[in-house]
Chains A and B, each alone.
Chain A
Amino acid sequence: MKRLLSISLLIVALVVMGWQLWPKESTAPTSYAGLGEGDDNFPQAKPGTMLNFPEDHGPHPDFRIEWWYLTGNLVAEDGRRFGVQWTLFRQAMAPPDLQQKTSDETPWASRQLWMAHAALSTPEDHLFSERFARGGVGQAGVKTTPFEAWIDNWSLRALGKDDSAGENDGSGFDHLLVTASGKEFGYRLTLDAEGPLVRHGTQGFSQKSADGQGSMYYSQPFFRVEGEVRVAGEPIAVTGRAWLDREWSSQLLGPTQSGWDWFSLHLDSGAKLMAFRLRGGDESGNENEDGSYLSGSWITPQGNITPLKPEDLNLMPLEYQTVAGREIPTRWRVQVPAHDLDVEVRARHPNQWMGTSFPYWEGMVTVSGSNEGEGYLEMTGYAGE
């Protein structure tokens, strides 16, 4: 559901081609309006498409955008809380019919662009880094058997064989090792799946608006984490849980959508909640009164999924704080009446700003109210000064 980041792939353009120009553009919601236009030359995600593993763990180069997106809530032995993010994005710069290389092109020629973000939230700080690479040269990529996704020396890869707790698809997707490092931080964590993969929407087709556009979207929300994070050279042993999202699509946003808020929550009951709100959509169809489009998934401790329609869900900002010059909602009320959920979601601290080439807020949150828990919240498109 992290469409915003798909857009950031296009924004890489601005990053690399003219850093200074970008911030002015990023604050205006209309700057990515053009990205909402579909491109008929790219294949579209369609309902009825069945997911196949391990193939679908790998890249879908014909689709315009795709990501491997991991977030984790960790705790050290002394009780300090940490959050990690590891994301690899892929973007096709040309539709499939134009992806064929001409005969005189060199090994450097590629129509695929890769970008990655890694972040470590400490109890009082937020450290992050980003990487870019072109396809075709082996600097970044994803392969399936055994599974490995990498860019430079950052990687997310299979450690051993699958087992019955997960999907058992032969890729080793159930036991992963994730590593990344940036200035002043790094982490090396093992991930063990304690439940199955979950397919959002209809068998993995996640509808994003009333007129039927959407994406292919599945998750592994049941990772148990063990390993080490490094802050300014100090190694800290940690344990916790993590959530991995896989999504690909060719259709970007509607022209009036200004940003989105996305939740992935681990509840102490063992249940999980994925919920999002696209702000400022068009006025027709399923959007609620302020024009936002709401959707989500309720996941039982066993991994059974119930798609949540806009009317099943309520997401309400309660408090705004100034972060990086923008007013950002750092306290929320989240309600899912059908599952007796009425909780307050609160950022562990407001300073979890990703000051990357496409800036956004992504960080660890706590859950209190009818249920206790923790999770991750992502918020984009909040205008600056």
Chain B
Amino acid sequence: MSTATPSVLRTTLATLLSHYRRHPGQLAMLLLGLWVASALWSGVQAINASARESYDRAESLFSADLDRITRRDGATLTLDDYRDLRRAGLPVSPIIEGELSLSDGESLMLIGIEPLSLPGGAPLAQQNGDADALGNWLIPPYRVRVAPDTLEKARALENLPPFEIAPDLPPATLVTDIAVAARLLDMDRRITRLVIAPERDVELPAAFVRTSPDTLASPGQLADSFHLNLTAMGLLALVVGLFIVHAALGLALEQRLGLLRTLRALGVPGRTLILALGLELLLMGLLGALLGIVSGVILAQLLLPDVAATLDSLYDTTVSNTLNLPWYYWLGGLAITLGGLFSAGASMLWRASRINVLGLGQAQAWRGRLRGQLRVQLLFGGALLAGAGFLWWYLASTAGRQDLALGFTLVALLLLGAALCLPPLLAGLLGLLARYLPRRAALLQWGVADLQLQLPQLSLAMMALLLALSANLGVGSMVGGFRLTFLDWLDQRLLADLYVRPAAEQFEDLESWLNERSEVATLLPARNTEAELIMDDKNAGAVALFGIAPKPILQETWPLLETRNGHEAAWQALTSGAAFINEQLARRQGLGPGDSLQLQGPSGLVTLSVAAVYPDYGNPRGEITLPVSRLATEFKAPSGTLGVVLAPTGDRVQTLSRLQEAMSERFNLAEENPSGGSLIDQQALKQVATEVFERTFAITRALNALTLGVAGLALLTTLLAQAEARRAQLAPLWALGVSRGRLVKLQIGQLVMACLGTALLAIPLGLLLTGALVAVINVAAFGWRLPLHIFPGQIAMTVTLAVVVAILAALIPAWRLRRVPPRQLLQEFAAA
């Protein structure tokens, strides 16, 4: 075998590439696929990488892993508490935290620390290491630390000390000495909280409560599942894009088989040919990936503010609004695109390497193997679906401790299996159709048979369409169902018209004052605290305790998922000593009505039996609900809130504002009052919760729509690329006297049929996907299950969308068929 010289390689490559000069549509399609795949994927990854960087910065912040100490009675901590605890030998450190408002309505978090007592003060300061650093920090004019991405905003604030740049600080956060923070936030001797290193095991005076950070809402885990969601969407987009690439490459090879044989016959070594094809792939890949990554970053920049807002409101984690991309992000994006391209191109290279030089006359002979290929696909697809079924059964039988990764595996198996089964199913469908079509409808018969013949080229685009449609359907139903359930639940839980959180010392006064007002129908006091859960004599960590007043109005609306002997009996049990638990705790600990659990309270062990399980959407923690009186006596819970239910007379808004005014005057309450009590209007609360919700799924929706759009494009480009070849196949019909108008209709009909078939298959698949999302993914990610809602309107919409895409995709080639002069058509047909 001769060795390839560079000039042979160059000539071969130029010859191969010349194909794209004649078929620019194929080149465009190839690049489009690569571009789309890599843009969506790298966009999602950019968001993830940027958010992850923000988390890392947040986690490296001192307060992230320290235990917190607060007063049991809820009163504000002061410098004197700090001094007394220190002098008692407790290694606590004070922290002052507050918001500094910017003129544009945004705000920055200001954290005042006491560096001398802060446990392991090290992460606080990657300092430049001069001995004056502490002096600068502790005495005028002091210093304030800020991350580079927050510097510009911070400059807008007045009275701040000179800046020190600290890249490791979380975004929108300022850190300074406690003396400065106390002045800027007007705290005088008051402090926000005390912190202590988690490993310091000390005995606290009874007046204080210690909370460990892992019993607080853990944004890490929740945010992880959010990012996993994003990643899954990105992966879906990548797969869809690669389907396009695969289709384009297959087509490009098929049409160049003759060319390849000619080259081989001219003496180009097989290796050189493969090398040239590989180089071609690499060239395309680099171009596509570059385009994709650049537009991915642009996409991420568009989506990031939404993502940041979502994460902020959902999980209370601050994510920078600006992209910060580490170097490995760029490499990773390139690698995944090229990897995807080569996996899509591998079969092309394989086939090209086995070209029979003498097989010149048998172009497209491989189609003969179509049947066998379909059978293999069906077999594989069936196996994947069976695997998905088994996984589902397994996950359902091990309720409680479900793995999110397994959940996504299930979804992937489901989608891939269905995609593989699609071509054989469509082929079967067409076979049936052909058998039952009236013999005389020859044109229709031909149409069906021709569509069967087209399946191999169409199947990849159809698979992409199937995936996009079912994902769209599944995610849409999940979000819609979530929305319905969540809003409903909000209505039930936010029963009172007004929520008041008075200062501890005012609580009783305010309660009796409210009780005497005629416009107040019922008062619903509530308290919060936490206790250690003891399961099987082992400490199972802290759980939240929620105290409610089991009044009739509450009993009527409070939703319960599971009870032992019905709704009424459950409430009866609650008032006589049993407890309700939320769904999260029930799943996590495998508890149900009738089971019992133990709590370590401040006055010893308390044994409770579970009377009911209630839904608690949006709460990451396990929670136990008890009558509020027990929380006060047995668990020493601080005074908490008062829910005010208005009597159903008169104008609600007016009554409410009058009551608010009277209360504020009498008790010095305000909407935002860090030291004293506060008032929250239920309507405002609902609005905030709804906003949070809408934001959560804004990105999901956006990505979903993009994926569907990409699938439509895939179909369109596939058809465009085949249009010319198709014209040759239509020639005999035209020659037989079938009018061009009828040919166009036939083509559109064929495509609509294929897309309709795909869409019909997408409906059950979408429903299965919804089921997997609400019953498996949601439970694993958030700890609660959603009821399955089906939205017929949405299904109809999806099917219509598929048909519209099909018509659009068929229209352009059809339009060209009509416009091409008969002379040119004749030429083309003669060539065929």
Task: List, in ascending order, chain B residues with CB within 8 A of A34's CB.
Answer: 131
* A94 CA to B142 CA, complexed, in Å: 13
- Does residue A53 face the partner (Cβ distance < 8 Å to B)? no
Q: Within residues 330 to 355 of chain A, which ones have a CB less than 8 A from any CB in chain B?
A: none
| Interface locus among B119-127, B283-291, B725-733 | B119-127
- B183 & A18 in contact (Cβ 8 Å cutoff): no
- B138 & A150 in contact (Cβ 8 Å cutoff): no
In the complex, besides A17-B121, A21-B127, A109-B139, 4 extra interface pairs with C-beta distance below 8 angstroms are A12-B116, A17-B137, A18-B133, A153-B89
- Does residue A324 face the partner (Cβ distance < 8 Å to B)? no
- Does residue A16 face the partner (Cβ distance < 8 Å to B)? yes
- A137 & B79 in contact (Cβ 8 Å cutoff): yes
CB distance from B260 to the nearest CB of A (A): 62
Name which of A102, A104, A106 has the most chain B CB atoms within 10 A of its CB.
A106
- Does residue A11 face the partner (Cβ distance < 8 Å to B)? yes
Q: Within residues 91 to 127 of chain A, which ones have a CB less than 8 A from any CB in chain B?
A: 93-94, 98, 102, 104-111, 113
A18 touching B86 in the complex, CB below 8 Å, given contacts A107-B189, A108-B79, A111-B139: no
What is the 8 Å Cβ interface bit string for chain A, positions 143-158, against chain B (1 contact, 0 not)? 0000000101100000
* A111 CA to B124 CA, complexed, in Å: 21
Task: List, in ascending order, chain B residues with CB within 8 A of A98's CB.
Answer: 139
Task: List, in ascending order, chain A residues with CB within 8 A of B129's CB.
Answer: 14, 17-18, 21, 25
* A132 CA to B87 CA, complexed, in Å: 13
* A53 CA to B493 CA, complexed, in Å: 70
The 8 nearest A-B residue pairs measured at CB: A13-B134, A153-B89, A106-B182, A108-B179, A132-B116, A18-B127, A17-B127, A109-B179
- B188 & A13 in contact (Cβ 8 Å cutoff): no
Q: Which residues in A have some Cβ–Cβ distance to B below 8 Å?
A: 10-14, 16-21, 25, 34-35, 93-94, 98, 102, 104-111, 113, 132-134, 137-139, 150, 152-153, 181
- B86 & A152 in contact (Cβ 8 Å cutoff): yes
- B188 & A94 in contact (Cβ 8 Å cutoff): no
* A21 CA to B121 CA, complexed, in Å: 13
- B132 & A13 in contact (Cβ 8 Å cutoff): yes
* A261 CA to B192 CA, complexed, in Å: 46
- B82 & A16 in contact (Cβ 8 Å cutoff): no
Q: Within residues 103 to 143 of chain B, which ones have a CB less than 8 A from any CB in chain A?
A: 114-117, 121-122, 124-127, 129-135, 137-140
Task: List, in ascending order, chain A residues with CB within 8 A of B125's CB.
Answer: 16-18
* A181 CA to B200 CA, complexed, in Å: 14
Task: List, in ascending order, chain B residues with CB within 8 A of A16's CB.
Answer: 115-116, 121, 124-125, 134
- B134 & A12 in contact (Cβ 8 Å cutoff): yes
What's the dominant secondary structure at chain B's contact region?
A: loop
Task: List, in ascending order, chain B residues with CB within 8 A of A107's CB.
Answer: 79, 182, 188-189
* A312 CA to B91 CA, complexed, in Å: 48
A93 touching B135 in the complex, CB below 8 Å, given contacts A17-B115, A25-B129: yes
Task: List, in ascending order, chain B residues with CB within 8 A of A17's CB.
Answer: 115, 121, 124-125, 127, 129, 133-134, 137
- Does residue B336 face the partner (Cβ distance < 8 Å to A)? no
- B183 & A14 in contact (Cβ 8 Å cutoff): no
Task: List, in ascending order, chain B residues with CB within 8 A of A93's CB.
Answer: 135, 138-139
* A34 CA to B177 CA, complexed, in Å: 26
Name which of B88, B114, B121, B139 has the most chain A CB atoms within 10 A of its CB.
B139
* A108 CA to B188 CA, complexed, in Å: 9
Name which of B114, B116, B124, B177 has the most chain A CB atoms within 10 A of its CB.
B116
- B87 & A153 in contact (Cβ 8 Å cutoff): yes
What is the 8 Å Cβ interface bit string for chain B, positions 178-198, against chain A (1 contact, 0 not)? 110011000111000000000
What is the 8 Å Cβ interface bit string for chain B, positions 157-180, against chain A (1 contact, 0 not)? 000000000000000000001110
* A229 CA to B392 CA, complexed, in Å: 64
- B132 & A108 in contact (Cβ 8 Å cutoff): no
- A138 & B83 in contact (Cβ 8 Å cutoff): yes
CB-nearest residue of chain A to B133: A17
From the candidates B116, B122, B138, name the one contacting A20 in the complex (CB within 8 A): B122
A106 touching B121 in the complex, CB below 8 Å, given contacts A12-B134, A152-B87: no
- B131 & A10 in contact (Cβ 8 Å cutoff): yes
CB-nearest residue of chain B to A12: B134
CB-nearest residue of chain B to A181: B89
29 pairs of residues in contact across A and B, judged by CB atoms under 8 Å: A12-B116, A12-B134, A13-B133, A14-B127, A14-B134, A16-B115, A16-B125, A17-B115, A17-B121, A17-B134, A18-B125, A18-B127, A25-B129, A34-B131, A94-B135, A106-B179, A106-B182, A107-B189, A108-B177, A108-B178, A108-B182, A111-B139, A113-B116, A132-B117, A134-B114, A139-B82, A139-B87, A153-B86, A153-B88
CB distance from B173 to the nearest CB of A (A): 18
CB distance from A151 to the nearest CB of B (A): 9
Task: List, in ascending order, chain B residues with CB within 8 A of A134's CB.
Answer: 114, 116, 138
CB distance from B763 to the nearest CB of A (A): 60
Task: List, in ascending order, chain A residues with CB within 8 A of B116's CB.
Answer: 12, 16, 113, 132-134
Name which of A10, A18, A98 has the most chain B CB atoms within 10 A of its CB.
A18
CB-nearest residue of chain A to B189: A107
CB-nearest residue of chain B to A154: B89
* A138 CA to B87 CA, complexed, in Å: 9
Task: List, in ascending order, chain B residues with CB within 8 A of A153's CB.
Answer: 86-89
